[in-house]
Amino acid sequence: MARDQWGTKAGFLLAAIGSAVGLGNIWRFPYVCASNGGGAFLFPYFFAIITAGIPILILEFTIGQKFRGGAPAALGCMNKKWEWLGWFQAVVAFFIATYYAVIVAWSISYIGFSAKQAWGVDTESFFFEKYLNVSDGPLQLGGIQLQILIPFLAVWLLGYIILSKGIKNGIEKANKIIIPLLLFLTGVIVVRGLTLPGALDGLNYLFTPDWGSIWKPEVWVAAYGQIFFSLSIGFAIMITYASYLPKKTDLVNSAFITAFSNHGFELFVALGIFGVLGYMAGVQGVDVAEVSKAGVGLAFVVFPAAISALPALKGTVGAVFFITLVFAGFTSFISIIEAYITGVIDKFNIPRQKALNIFVGISFVVSFIFVTGAGLYVLDILDYFINNFGIVLGGILEVILVGWFFDLEGLRTHANRYSNFAIGKWWNYMIKFVTPLVLGFMFVQNLVQNFIEPYGGYSFGSLLIIGWGAFVLCFVFAFVFYNMKGDSSVMLQPSKEEVSK
C-alpha cells in the first residue's frame, strides 16, 4: 500500500514541535531550572541541546526518512537483528500513551473548575481526595472514578478520530490548528504573569545564577535529562514522523528548528509560570522556593491556588492555563500513539484503520487503571520507570548500535544532501562518544539510587510489580513482535547499494 506523506514541510515541523512540546515543558522545566542553579543551569542546558538533543534528533530524522519506516522497520532495515530495539521503543511509547490520556483528561476537568475556582481554599485536598479520590496505595484500585471518566473517554475518542484520518489529513491538520493556538494562549499566560506584583521575585528565583552549581555532576545530568525527555527522542516518535517525509527534505535544518522551537517554548512558558508563582509567594509572605513544585503538584495544586489569589481575571487565566495543558498534552498524545501504530502497520502491512482498532483499543482498555483510585500512584511509578529506564536505555542502545556498528558517516552524508547547511564531523563524535557516555551515566546513577532508596517511598512490591514489571514487559513484548512473522515486502533489509546512497 502507498505510504502516506506530510502535505508540507511546515506541517511536519508543526507536528514534530507538537510532539516535543508536552506537559513536561510546562511543569517540569521551570522547576528543574530553578532547583539546579537557576541562570547557571542554562549553560549546561544549551550545551546539552547542541551535544545531545540536536545530534539525536538529526539521527532519528535521518533514519526515519532514509529507511521509510517506523522505528522497528527502519532499525530492522539497518540490521535485521536491530528490529527488536525498534519494538522496545514502540512498547515504551505504548505505556506512555496509556497514562498520558488521563493527565489530559484531568486538565479538561480543570478548565471547568476554573470558572468559579471549584477547588476552593485547600487545592491539595480537592485534587487528591475529592477529584481523584486516591486509594490507600497503588495495589488497591478503589474502583472507577466517574468524575474522570467523561473527559477521559473524550480524549481517547478525539485521538482515535484524528489518527483515523491519517498523517496529512489528521495529524498534520490538527497540529496546524492547535500549535498556533497553544503559542497564543501561552503568550496570554506569560503577559499576565509578568504584569503581576511580585513577578520579578519569581523571575529572580528562576534565573539568578548559582555559578557553583555548574561544577556539580547532578546539574549536568539534570540538563541532559531535560533535553532528552522533552524532545520526544529515544522512543520511536521522531523516527516515525520522519518516515513520512519526502526524499528531498532538509533534515538538518528541520532538526534545529524543532529543537529550538521546543526549548524556546520551555523558556517562554517558564516566564509566565514563575511570574504567577512570584505573585503568589508575595501574597502568602513566603519565599518562591516554598511554592514552587514540579509535576502534577505544580499544575493541579500550586497553580490553582495561585489562580485563586489573583486580583482579577481568575476564571480566564485558569481556563487559559488548563487549555494550554490540554493542547500541549494532546499533540504529544497522538504522536505517542502514532509511534507504535506505524510499527504495526509496517510489520504486518495491514490497513491503518485495522491497526488503530486493535491497538488503540488495547491501549484504551489498559489505560482504565489510571481512572481508578490507584491511578495516580500507578501513573507516578510507571512514568518514573519508563522515563528513567525505558527511554534512556532505548536511547543508549540506539546511539551505540548506530554509532559503532553502522555506517554513521553515510547517515551524515544523507542528512546533509538536501540541507541548507551541513553538519560536520562533530556530529559523529557526539553520537559515538558524548551522548552514550552521558546517558549511560544517567542510567547507572538512577539504577544505583533505586537500590539505595526505593522511589517515592512506595513499597518494594508496588515498585516490583508496576515499575520493574513494566520495564521487563518492554523487553518481552519487543521480542514477541520481533519474532512474529510479518510482511517480508515491508521488513526486508535494503541492499548494500541502497544503504550507501
Task: Give 302-343 pLDDT, tens digit per residue.
Answer: 999 999 999 988 999 999 999 999 999 999 999 999 999 999
pLDDT for the residue 499: 45
pLDDT for the residue 167: 97
Gyration radius from the chain CA atoms: 22
Contacts of 83 (CB under 8 A, 6+ apart): 72, 73, 75, 76, 482, 491
Contacts of 66 (CB under 8 A, 6+ apart): 74, 411, 414
pLDDT for the residue 382: 96
> Which amino acid, one-letter code, is at 308?
S
Taking residues 367-385, report their average pLDDT: 96
Taking residues 428-434, report their average pLDDT: 95
Task: Report the Cα–Cα distance between both ends of the chain, in Å, rounded.
Answer: 24
pLDDT in tens, 65-101: 999 999 999 999 999 999 999 999 999 999 999 999 9
Which residue in 230, 179, 228, 187 sits closest to 12, CA to CA?
179
pLDDT averaged over every residue in the chain? 93
Q: Round to whole Å and give the CA distance between 383 and 483.
A: 27
pLDDT in tens, 113-128: 999 999 999 999 999 9
> Which amino acid, one-letter code, is at 276?
V
Contacts of 325 (CB under 8 A, 6+ apart): 23, 26, 104, 107, 110, 299
Grid coordinates of 165: 484520518
φ, ψ at 495 (rounded to 5°): -70, 165
Which residue in 278, 274, 300 sits closest to 107, CA to CA?
300
pLDDT for the residue 496: 45
pLDDT for the residue 389: 93
Q: Round to whole Å and give the CA distance between 110 and 102.
A: 12
Greater pLDDT, 102 or 490 = 102
pLDDT in tens, 37-61: 888 999 999 999 998 899 999 999 9
